[in-house]
Amino acid sequence: MPCHNPAHGRLPNVTGLTWGIPVNISELYAHLSAHARTAKACSALQLYCDNSIGGPAYIKTLPPELILEIIDVLVKNEREVIYSEIEKLRRCFEDECGFHDHFNEGEFHAMCQEAFEVVTEETPDLLSCRRSSPELDSDSDDGDRPTKSELHCEIEEYLKHHHMDVCGCRIKPELVHEITKYLEDYVDEKCGDWGDNFEAKMVRFAKACSTRTSDIGKLLRNHYKLGVHIAKYTIPRPFRVLTNSKTPIAFLALPRDWLQTLSNVDASMASLPEEARKRFEEAMKALRLQPYVHPTLVQTSLCQRFPGWTSIALEAQELVRNETEDLTRSSWPKLMNLVRNENVNVLPCCDCEG
């Protein structure tokens, strides 16, 4: 179904056939961004080493192999930094993150201290300085309490080491609960912001990939002669355990002008020209990418094959895992039906559900 919302002036999606390879969206973003960001520095370095230009210089005495290694290091370092940043945001968007994905140890202790001060100031009765042994108050009946989360346990440890050992206070379980809630609310807000940031970055990335004048667009078109397709795919309801019902999936594919509508398919599309196949191979090697089939693609296919599914058993999860691995290891690129939207400020949506 097209994602067309007249109220927002959005254009409907267009589906069509093209040859492509699904790839890890974070890796694709990091690798293309790193190559684009370091392109000028790498070109300048190669230019300085050109003996046919300018006068003598020490750098021109370096072997070409060493220059290529230096360039590889420049790109690799940039790629690792970008990947770490975008993967952190993606994990929040897809609800794969944990509490410590948002803080290092020092930041965690600072947030615990801030939460302790705020909570005890608002509710001083939660802290009872009775100069007793430094243990959590066990006066209340914990029989009906839910299992403590990892965060709850870590906050208990923090309070023992940073407060009770200092003044001998006995910390009530209610205080730990309030501090845990304070931090969870803070992390939920931070996580939501990071998830929104990830989607915004993917919109800008998709726009850059499709814009011929952008650094990434030039790299794709002029160097690799390929394009990138990014769309948000609906997670089938039986598999949906995330806050977000959609996940962005990326494909390295033939340029957009190769995308043919289903009603006007050229017979030549049935086979991939050898020259185009080599372009895919060179791009995947240069960008250090491997085919990556997102589980959502397999889940959608399975739900279409088994439309009666309303909940997912353990066997179904195993089936998804096996089919995803088999499909990833199969021969790529493949002829596939992709989605695009002429509005470059939104990601097209694939709303098919089982």
User: 301 lies in a domain?
Assistant: yes
Closest by CA position to 26, among listed 123, 91, 103: 91
Cα–Cα distance for residue pair 260/18, rounded to 1 Å: 7
Check whether 196 has a pLDDT greater than 70.
yes
Within 26-103, strands assigned E span none
More confident residue, 308 or 143: 308
pLDDT value, residue 166? 42
Q: How confident is the model at residue 90 (pLDDT cuts 50, 70, 90)?
A: very high
Q: How far is CA 213 from CA 163, 219, 222, 307, in A?
A: 58, 10, 11, 45
User: How many domains does the structure of the chain reveal?
Assistant: 1
Cα–Cα distance for residue pair 169/136, rounded to 1 Å: 9
User: 115 lies in a domain?
Assistant: no
pLDDT value, residue 138? 46
User: 269 lies in a domain?
Assistant: yes
Query: Range with the lowest mean pLDDT among 76-85, 129-138, 258-267, 330-339?
Result: 129-138
Cα–Cα distance for residue pair 13/4, rounded to 1 Å: 7
pTM of the model: 0.78
User: 245 lies in a domain?
Assistant: yes
C-beta of residue 200 within 8 angstroms of C-beta of residue 232 = no
- Domain coverage including residue 251: 6-100+189-350
Check whether 102 has a pLDDT greater than 70.
yes
Task: Give me 347's structure tokens.
Answer: 């990601």
User: 308 lies in a domain?
Assistant: yes
pLDDT value, residue 136? 47
User: 138 lies in a domain?
Assistant: no
Please list, in sequence order, all residues whose beta carbon lies within 8 angstroms of the beta carbon of residue 268, skipping any fewer than 6 positions away.
Answer: none
User: 172 lies in a domain?
Assistant: no
More confident residue, 137 or 69: 69
As a whole-number percent, the residues of the chain with pLDDT over 90 amount to 29
User: 208 lies in a domain?
Assistant: yes
pLDDT value, residue 257? 56
Cα–Cα distance for residue pair 98/92, rounded to 1 Å: 9
Section 243-256 average pLDDT? 82
